[in-house]
Amino acid sequence: MKTILELIGEQLISAFNECGYDEKYARVTVSNRPDLCEYQCSGAMAASKEYKKAPFIIASEVVAKLEGNQIFKNIECVNPGFINIILDEAYLGTYLEAMRSSEAFGYKSVKKPQTVMIDFGGANAAKPLHVGHLRSAVIGESVKRIEKFVGNHVISDVHLGDWGLQMGLIIEELRDRKPELVYFDESFSGEYPLEPPFTISELEQIYPAASTKSKENPEFKERAHTTTLKLQNSDPAFTAVWKHIMNVSKVDLIKNYSNLNVTFDLWKGESDAQPYIPDMVQDFIDRGFAYESQGAMVIDISLDTDSNELPPCIVRKTDGASLYATSDLATIIEREKLYSPDKYIYIADKRQELHFTQVFRVAKKVGLVKETTELTFLGFGTMNGKDGKPFKTRSGGVMRLENLIADINEAVYNKIIENRTVEDSEAKDTAKIVGLAALKYGDLSNQAAKDYAFDIDRFTSFEGNTGPYILYTIVRIKSILTKYIENGGSIKALKIATPEGSKEKALMLSLTKMSDVITVAEEEKAPHKLCQFIYDVSDAFNGFYHDTKILVEEDADKQKGYISLITLTKSVLECCIDLLGIEAPDRM
């Protein structure tokens, strides 16, 4: 189904062509002055330079060709040469009815679906999720859902940090705490236990303790290095411990990601890439891409077009160890072998931009991916406190994500019970749904690359551009529809009517933007633009609701038109919040 902008554009293209002007000047946009018009074309200004005519004359000629067109209620030329357009109400009603009865509200899926690999820049094993993991999780989940909606095949990978020195540190700290375990008995030759020798709570204490000890005790740190090397060389005892660490960690991570309504197709980690590294680095050397620099093996990535010289990518350190870049390049080899993606999207802190620039350029330079493969880094900013500094607990530590979720759920619960409209148990269940919406919408409504301030009072407000306001709008529509049915009405076989009031038309116009917004949100990897659309529709609905007596309307046909319109509104909003990883309760 074509969008309103496409349909209006077709009319203007025809008119520009008939007048002898290039159709490239017929671009139509939504007006930024809704008090003057609904849509606008400013192409006559640019065309005047090519055709040596005043913009007003060109625009007037085009408008003359469109007089009487059924799409437009009014189309006029205004100085210095703008074409202002107001849509015909009957045509708008017909368009909304087609949108209502179409699959996916008339959205046209991509013509050539792509395989898209989304890398969430994963959490570390053996460590609880904290507020720093929030953005990659919620932004990645929304990008994933948007990509699927447009028709692409998506593979999402948590990409856990499950390798390197941290594992040696954990194993050695475990040795100091429980030296009697069979993993540390060099004479042991039996089967290692299936049950882990620690709980998730113990594991979460072990890593920070080991990290602190390594900074204070050189001997301990050296032991951890030795153990890490043994693990990487497949030592059976340490491999068994590592598997316990991963199994226990994954159970906890799956639970916590599920609390965010975030899921992954793959639970791979850095360890999965390790088998590819030796051959990969040797291949880089053999083909002349990698060379020695101060004992390390590096690959140049600078281009003549760079404004600043970029450092080479180190693929092997002087001691023979690999780095994050090495692991990411080897991961690409595995992904190409297993999935051959058309597009990669990496979700990570924007401070990692140089890292991904290096990885992407090496991948293209050495031919790990095709020239046509899209490699995108979606870098996000920091979630700060109201003081503008990175968000911390009151004691100054990094807040665990589950504690942040608990705090925001409590704030929503307190607001819900103030109204005393639901039972306590229902209020708690509802608070979890609304709290998650407050948290995720508060994050996603900001442009990903920008820092933002976490403000629990603002995010949990039921007014303004917030998650609770959006959900309350949907719940309000549900309530109206429920009462309509209870009073004997039916929402079957309804049809969108021609709008009569300005608020009704404004709501309809807001709904027509859905396809365009989703297309832009996918192309720009910009969930915040979808949030803005959701808010605009919600605001338009509430304007219509306060201006219209829906349930007491005496004209049955007019009431059916209202009910059909708000049913479509509810469906569009529910579809769009689902693309954010949010759901709405039945009552609030």
Q: In 233-322, which ranges are E strands?
A: 291-293, 296-299, 313-316
Within this chain, do residues 518 and 574 fall inside the same structural domain, yes or no?
yes
The answer to whether residue 352 is domain-embedded is: no
Alpha-carbon distance of 199 to 202, in angstroms, equals 5
The model's pLDDT over 424-455, given as tens digits with 9 standing for 90+, comes to 888 999 999 999 999 999 999 999 999 999 99
The answer to whether residue 202 is domain-embedded is: yes
Alpha-carbon distance of 481 to 159, in angstroms, equals 44
**pLDDT at residue 393, rounded to an integer:** 67
Beta carbons of 489 and 582 less than 8 angstroms apart: no
Within this chain, do residues 424 and 551 fall inside the same structural domain, yes or no?
yes
Within this chain, do residues 42 and 133 fall inside the same structural domain, yes or no?
no
Residue 398 clears pLDDT 80, i.e. is over it: no
CATH code, domain carrying 55: 3.30.1360.70
**pLDDT at residue 400, rounded to an integer:** 87
At 418, the pLDDT band (50, 70, 90 cuts) reads: confident
Domain boundary among 247, 268, 289: 268
The model's pLDDT over 12-66, given as tens digits with 9 standing for 90+, comes to 999 999 999 999 999 999 998 998 999 999 999 999 999 999 999 999 999 999 9
Burial of 168 (0-12, 13-18, 19+ CB in 10 A): buried
The alpha carbon of residue 346 and the mean position of all alpha carbons in its chain are separated, in whole angstroms, by 11
Within this chain, do residues 141 and 252 fall inside the same structural domain, yes or no?
yes
Q: Which domain holds residue 518?
A: 401-578
Beta carbons of 160 and 125 less than 8 angstroms apart: yes
CATH code, domain carrying 154: 3.40.50.620
CATH code, domain carrying 557: 1.10.730.10
Within this chain, do residues 128 and 22 fall inside the same structural domain, yes or no?
no
Alpha-carbon distance of 93 to 95, in angstroms, equals 5
Whole-number CA gyration radius for the chain? 29
The answer to whether residue 381 is domain-embedded is: no
Within this chain, do residues 73 and 140 fall inside the same structural domain, yes or no?
no
Candidates 36, 76, 73, 72; CA nearest to 56 is 76
Within this chain, do residues 40 and 179 fall inside the same structural domain, yes or no?
no
Domain boundary among 245, 268, 291: 268
The answer to whether residue 238 is domain-embedded is: yes
Alpha-carbon distance of 255 to 369, in angstroms, equals 34
Within this chain, do residues 124 and 59 fall inside the same structural domain, yes or no?
no
* Residue indicated by tokens 């700290």: 173
Please tell me the total count of domains within the chain: 3
Residue 277 clears pLDDT 70, i.e. is over it: yes
- Secondary structure of residue 122 in the 3-state scheme: coil
Within this chain, do residues 39 and 170 fall inside the same structural domain, yes or no?
no
Q: What is the dihedral of CA 291, 292, 298, 302, to 10 degrees?
A: -70
Whole-prediction pTM:
0.94
The answer to whether residue 380 is domain-embedded is: no
The answer to whether residue 102 is domain-embedded is: no
Mean pLDDT confidence for 373-401: 85
Beta carbons of 527 and 444 less than 8 angstroms apart: yes
Within this chain, do residues 77 and 138 fall inside the same structural domain, yes or no?
no
The model's pLDDT over 76-93, given as tens digits with 9 standing for 90+, comes to 999 999 999 999 999 999
Residue 463 clears pLDDT 90, i.e. is over it: yes
Domain boundary among 253, 268, 283: 268
Alpha-carbon distance of 346 to 96, in angstroms, equals 37
Alpha-carbon distance of 344 to 359, in angstroms, equals 12
The answer to whether residue 516 is domain-embedded is: yes
Within this chain, do residues 537 and 489 fall inside the same structural domain, yes or no?
yes
Candidates 89, 87, 90, 86; CA nearest to 37 is 86
Q: What share of the chain is helix, strand, coil (3-state, %, to 5)?
A: 55, 10, 35
* Residue indicated by tokens 């969108």: 496
At 394, the pLDDT band (50, 70, 90 cuts) reads: low
The model's pLDDT over 505-514, given as tens digits with 9 standing for 90+, comes to 999 999 999 9
**Residue 106, token pair as written in the block:** 């008339």
Within this chain, do residues 82 and 140 fall inside the same structural domain, yes or no?
no
DSSP 320-368: S---HHHHHHHHHHHHHHHT--SEEEEEEEGGGHHHHHHHHHHHHHTTS
The answer to whether residue 391 is domain-embedded is: no
The model's pLDDT over 178-224, given as tens digits with 9 standing for 90+, comes to 999 999 999 998 999 999 999 988 998 998 999 999 999 999 999 99
Q: In the predicted model, what is the mean pLDDT of the chain?
A: 94
